[in-house]
Amino acid sequence: MAEPDGGLRVWPAPNAGGIGGLDFGAQRRIERLVLVVGVVGVCALCAKCGFPASRVSFLRAGPGILCLGLDEQTHGGDASRSSFAAGFLATGALAAETLALVGDGEIPLFGSISNPVCCYFCRPKKWRYDERNDRHFLSFGLRLENALVSYGRYLAMLFWPENLCAFYPHPGQWPLAKVLPAGLLVLGLSTLTFALRRERPYLLTGWFWFLGTLVPVIGLVQVGAQSMADRYSYFPSIGILIAVIWEMHRLTKGWLYQRAGLSVAGGAVILTCITLTRHQIGFWRNEITLWSRAVAVTENNYKAHNLLGSAFFAQGNLAAGIREFQESIRLNPSFAEPWCSLGYMFILHGNSDQAIACYQKALEAQPDLVVAHMSLGNILLLAGRVDEALFQLQEAIKQDPRLAAAEDSLGRAFSLKGRWDEAIASYQRELEIQPDSAAAWNSLGLVLSRAGRFDEALAAFQRAVAIRPGDGSARNNLGYILLRTHRVDEAIHQFHAALQYQPDNAEGHNNLGSALAAKGQVDEAIPEFQEALRLKPNYADASHNLASALQVKGKLASPPTNSITP
């Protein structure tokens, strides 16, 4: 019986193309577009406000926009759509009120409040945290500590953006030496801007814009394993930059050449940041450069090591991939993904026992990990441990009832146990999920024929051939059923067609010889049996049929036997 297609796979599946499914040429075009639109947009905003060219830092803008593609790859299309929905709602509210009222020197706080509300309710369901299902739940105190530290880190990186990367791991608990200064910074700036609210209202607005728009992603509600992410800070940073720009305008109000001086300074900052952005984008050239950068600039980044291992695997560097997976496991033994990836590596090296152990470790870390159940089930099936395989495959289907590959493997397992009715039910469920799978129709036909339900098997094989006419195995099996139902001419036609696609199929030559012998064409049948034995010297059916054909030729008839192709 055929092996399940795609049953064993690395987790997560490496992406050999560009980030987020884009080829890297397209990414370069997006990078240029991001820079142009960014400069034009900021300058337009400043012109509307009556200020010279912006002093906005673009260092993190380019890579962050591209990170939206990575989010879609990691979290799925619904994540991307929901993120854009939230962004449009919040940005619209802020932009409308800012541009409408900035001429009066006041920017209302409604926008800074609307953004977190929109983000919270528009976030994808898979990001909506349920602490009951989290084995590594962080208490609210630890999340609050991380939020305070992250505010300080976002603020520092806005003005001195170094050691940027795609993933910052959560340390679990921050040392007091970092939490206390961050908390004092947030409290101090909040107090200062509130005290100056009448004299300089833009400071209060800008600061609380920054604080408020970071609320949904600051870590008070867990949405992932990261402590922070560059992409979360772009929109909130506008608040800080508004406060800085307004304050610079106030401080230079008495300058003779204020507009010219600030325009030159702003232009110089923009050009410098564009150059630095180009350098930063280089780390996003491919998966290896991206995650190598993350490993280099962070500590204990188990997720980056795992993704770097997948990138090495995609390039065929198995040794480097194994090294990164092992390092990821060393840093966080309860992280299931590298255990699955390492298990797949052992499969490639033919070490099924080590692979089984790795998948079992993955399930200890994450009992509901579907790919681990399915892969472990397939390995156990290949090792002949059918009862254990049945349990794992049924667990995979329990977690994901629409998993066609698991249904296919489950059908194989039931077939090996001779439990035909259950095997038939598994393949029928697979076909409900993917009705145009020729392989599934062929497998269903096999178990139906072994259960003695030849009319249904005939229909299944005909459907498989209709979907994939070049499937030699399905044609051979169709010919077998036709021969069993005494439709010899049709059977011969199917066997000939099957051998056109699979000329080295010993079973096909044997079956064609059987059909020719049944029609009385013994002279044509003998070469087919001989060819079957040449391809498969220990083929007992072909040996028996050849002897029978030679006896028939010598007037000593003996009924031929034929076989079905697994």
Are 422 and 536 part of one and the same domain? no
User: Is pLDDT at 30 greater than 70 in this prediction?
Assistant: no
CATH number of the domain to which 470 belongs: 1.25.40.10
At 120-178, the pLDDT tens digits run: 444 444 333 333 334 456 888 899 999 999 999 999 998 888 889 999 998 888 999 99
Expressed in percent and rounded to 5, the helix, strand and coil fractions of the chain are 75, 0, 25
In a domain, 276, yes or no: yes
pLDDT at 561: 60
Residue 62 binned pLDDT confidence (cut-offs 50, 70, 90): very low
pLDDT at 119: 44
The span from the CA of 517 to the CA of 449, in Å, is 22
pLDDT at 438: 95
Q: Which of 96-100, 263-267, 414-418 has the lowest mean pLDDT?
A: 96-100
Are 357 and 403 part of one and the same domain? yes
Are 211 and 309 part of one and the same domain? no
pLDDT at 496: 94
Looking at per-residue confidence, does 51 or 234 come out higher? 234
Out of 435, 457, 481, pick the residue that ends a domain.
435
pLDDT at 554: 75
Are 563 and 417 part of one and the same domain? no
pLDDT at 84: 37
In a domain, 154, yes or no: yes
User: Domain range spanning residue 315?
Assistant: 1-15+299-435
Are 3 and 24 part of one and the same domain? no
Query: Is there a contact between 171 and 74 (Cβ–Cβ < 8 Å)?
Result: no
In a domain, 452, yes or no: no
Cα distances (angstroms) measured from residue 22 to each of 59, 83, 231, 309, 416: 22, 19, 19, 21, 43
pLDDT above 90: percentage of residues in the chain: 57
Are 47 and 161 part of one and the same domain? yes
User: Of 232, 210, 189, 193, which Cα lies nearest the Cα of 86?
Assistant: 232
pLDDT at 137: 66
Mean pLDDT of 396-424: 95
In a domain, 445, yes or no: no
pLDDT at 67: 33
**140 CB-contact burial (10 Å; exposed 0-12 / middle 13-18 / buried 19+):** exposed
In a domain, 365, yes or no: yes
pLDDT at 251: 87
User: Is pLDDT at 18 greater than 70 in this prediction?
Assistant: no
Residue 379 binned pLDDT confidence (cut-offs 50, 70, 90): very high
Q: What is the CA radius of gyration of the chain?
A: 33
Looking up tokens 């947030």, which residue turns up? 186
Are 144 and 75 part of one and the same domain? yes
In a domain, 454, yes or no: no
Are 153 and 261 part of one and the same domain? yes
Cα distances (angstroms) measured from residue 450 to each of 480, 494, 530: 12, 20, 27
Tokens read off for 155:
């603020």
In a domain, 444, yes or no: no
Out of 285, 313, 347, pick the residue that ends a domain.
285
pLDDT at 564: 57
In a domain, 450, yes or no: no
DSSP per-residue codes, 187-203: HHHHHHHHHTTTT-HHH
Tokens read off for 288:
């290896």
Mean pLDDT of 344-369: 92
Are 9 and 56 part of one and the same domain? no
Strands (DSSP E) found in 269-420: none
Mean pLDDT of 245-263: 86
Out of 250, 285, 320, pick the residue that ends a domain.
285
Residue 560 binned pLDDT confidence (cut-offs 50, 70, 90): low
Q: Which of 45-49, 210-214, 325-329, 557-561 has the lowest mean pLDDT?
A: 45-49
Are 267 and 324 part of one and the same domain? no
User: Is pLDDT at 235 greater than 50 in this prediction?
Assistant: yes
The span from the CA of 116 to the CA of 235, in Å, is 11
pLDDT above 70: percentage of residues in the chain: 74
Are 371 and 256 part of one and the same domain? no
User: Is pLDDT at 10 greater than 50 in this prediction?
Assistant: no
Can you give the pTM of this predicted structure?
0.69
Are 144 and 238 part of one and the same domain? yes
The span from the CA of 538 to the CA of 131, in Å, is 60
Q: Which of 109-123, 190-204, 244-258, 446-460 has the lowest mean pLDDT?
A: 109-123
Residue 563 binned pLDDT confidence (cut-offs 50, 70, 90): low
User: Which helix (H) or strand (E) is 28 found in, with range?
Assistant: helix 24-49
pLDDT at 115: 45
Task: Say how many domains are in the chain.
Answer: 3
Amino acid at 399: Q
User: Is pLDDT at 480 greater than 50 in this prediction?
Assistant: yes
